[in-house]
């Protein structure tokens, strides 16, 4: 399955609250524990900052209600994911909670070569792979206001079994402990504030 760019030429859609944001074409990686609000931040950036290109990951996970193939993720089966790994089509990939996730290499390279600011939203293992593969990448860690708030967000989803939830909580503790590996940490007390801070970082 070829991985296409669902954002086309980057023009804002009608009615979109677009913000003209001059940004630098350095690759930025946003990571953090599951449930911290990464997807919400990405959705807000998509809405307000069309000048930033946000990579869409490939995953073997089943779509959640409301998710659209090519928008939140490219949903593929295990055989297709194996093919992408074997053909070196992924910049990074990792397994989490029984599913695999990866970043398509070609769309990202095309955007960076065109001088477009690019943002990856990936987990800790993926961020570590990108740091090795792209030494100049800026790594940003998104942290929760507190551990209790993170637990509340994770358990409030109601989309996973108790076994999967236990794995997510255990992984979240490990991920929080790795915040020191990142260049910048942003605390997600407000999605709008995080987006403003992230865009400000990407201008330099």
Task: List the domains of the chain with CATH numbers.
Answer: 28-202 (3.40.50.300)
Residue 136: both structure tokens together: 């100049």
Bridge partners of 121? 30
Backbone angles phi, psi at 176, to 5 degrees: -60, -35
Tens digit of each residue's pLDDT (9 = 90 or more) over 44-100: 999 999 889 999 999 999 999 999 999 889 999 999 999 999 999 999 999 987 899
pTM score of the predicted model: 0.79
φ/ψ of 141, rounded to 5, equals -105, 125
CA dist., res. 131 & res. 148, Å (int): 30
- Please, what sign has the CA dihedral across residues 34, 116, 57, 7? positive
**Strands across the sheet containing 90-96:** 74-75, 58-59, 99-104, 90-96
């Amino acid at each position: 399955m070829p991985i296409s760019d669902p954002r086309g030429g980057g023009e804002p859609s009608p009615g979109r609250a677009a913000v003209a944001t001059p940004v630098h074409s350095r690759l930025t990686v946003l990571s953090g524990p599951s449930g911290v609000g990464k997807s919400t931040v990405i959705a807000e950036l998509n809405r307000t900052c069309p000048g930033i290109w946000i990579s869409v990951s490939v995953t073997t996970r089943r779509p959640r209600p409301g998710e659209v193939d090519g928008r939140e993720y490219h949903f593929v089966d295990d055989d297709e994911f194996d093919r992408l790994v074997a053909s070196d089509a992924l910049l990074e990939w990792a397994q989490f909670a029984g599913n695999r996730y990866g970043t398509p290499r070609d769309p990202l390279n095309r955007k960076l070569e065109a001088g477009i600011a690019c943002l990856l939203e990936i987990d800790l293992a993926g961020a570590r792979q990108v740091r090795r593969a792209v030494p100049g990448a800026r790594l940003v860690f998104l942290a929760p206001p507190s551990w209790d708030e993170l637990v509340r967000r994770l358990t409030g989803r109601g989309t996973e079994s108790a076994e999967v939830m236990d794995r997510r909580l255990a992984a979240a503790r490990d991920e929080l402990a790795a915040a020191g590996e990142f260049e910048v940490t942003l605390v997600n007390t407000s999605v709008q504030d995080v987006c403003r801070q992230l865009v400000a970082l990407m201008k330099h």
